Amino acid sequence: MQGCAFVDGEFVAPEHAKISIFDWGFLHSDATYDVAHVWDGKFFRLDDHLDRFEASLRALRLDPGVSRQRMREVMHECVRRAGLREAYVEVLCTRGRPAPGSRDPRSCTNTFMAFAIPFVWIADPAKQRRGIDLVVGTPQRIPPSSVDPRIKNYHWMDFVMGLFQAYERGGETVVLTDGQGHVTEGPGFNVFAVFGGAADLQAARVVTPVAGVLEGVSRRTVIEMAAAAGCTVEQRLLDVDELRRADEIFLSTTGGGVIPISHLDGVPVAGRKPGDFGPVSALLQARYWALHEDPRYVEAVQGLPAAR
């Protein structure tokens, strides 16, 4: 597998990146992580990802044992050693192994790791041109009172069960609700609904769920772009029935940016044909990738050879 990992203070090939089965990151999913991406040899919004990672570490009382600058250096070096111009770059910290026989998390030595692998798409460009089929799953999203979704975590069993349900119903991915009929998020993405805007973009309302979701960096990018385009942006509760009435639906994710939805539960969104996603989705998708050339948002990978 092409890539590079950083484990136990050393850079190793991905197949050699391993942790103990006694690490609580494995046994208890006691860990946090964040994922940035590299496009055309440049990190996108790296500081925003590091900000969120450090906030998650503080919330979970994890100490990675390295400085922010060292995290940045490790991420750059993983990409450089892998020789990737388009990459998926993850940093993570696990609780580690406790003292023998102890169940006290304070006895654990926390462990910092990172890796870079080829860019991972939630939906590749061909699927994005067609649009993907989204299913509203019946498993309830883990409530924020139990696991705060603003802390990026590996508690994905609700998503995994939802994905199986989506596949069985002919869909490609799933979005879960909070058990009260409100949309939350899906495995690795936030959801947006657009109302109006066909004749005038400034008349469009762009709505995204405010509760039960990870506050994604791509989500933030979309909110900023939509506001700059003159759209009204609403972060609030979004009912499933309201989502079904949307003129456009799209996802935001590090794994592909702005991804249009063609069908919701097998029904074409707003009666549109595949490939016709509406003006707001098209505009935001184009502007998202244009930002990858904006020096305010990008940071060249140190030591990576120039593109041929």
Of 154, 196, 172, 184, the residue nearest 259 (C-alpha): 172
Distance CA 235, CA 169 (A): 29
Q: Is residue 179 very low, low, confident or very high in pLDDT (cuts 50, 70, 90)?
A: very high
Of 77, 72, 68, the residue nearest 11 (C-alpha): 77
Rg for the chain (alpha carbons), in Å? Answer: 20
One-letter amino acid at 77 equals E
User: With a threshold of 0.85, does the pTM exceed it?
Assistant: yes
Domains of the chain: 4-118 (3.30.470.10), 125-293 (3.20.10.10)
* Residue 57 scores a pLDDT above 70: yes
Distance CA 139, CA 134 (A): 15
Q: What is the reported pLDDT for 308?
A: 64
Strand 132-140 vs strand 173-177: parallel, antiparallel, or unpaired?
Answer: parallel
Q: What is the pLDDT of residues 251-262, one digit of tens each?
A: 999 999 999 999
Torsion, Cα 99 100 102 107, to 10 degrees, reads: 0
* Residue 175 scores a pLDDT above 70: yes
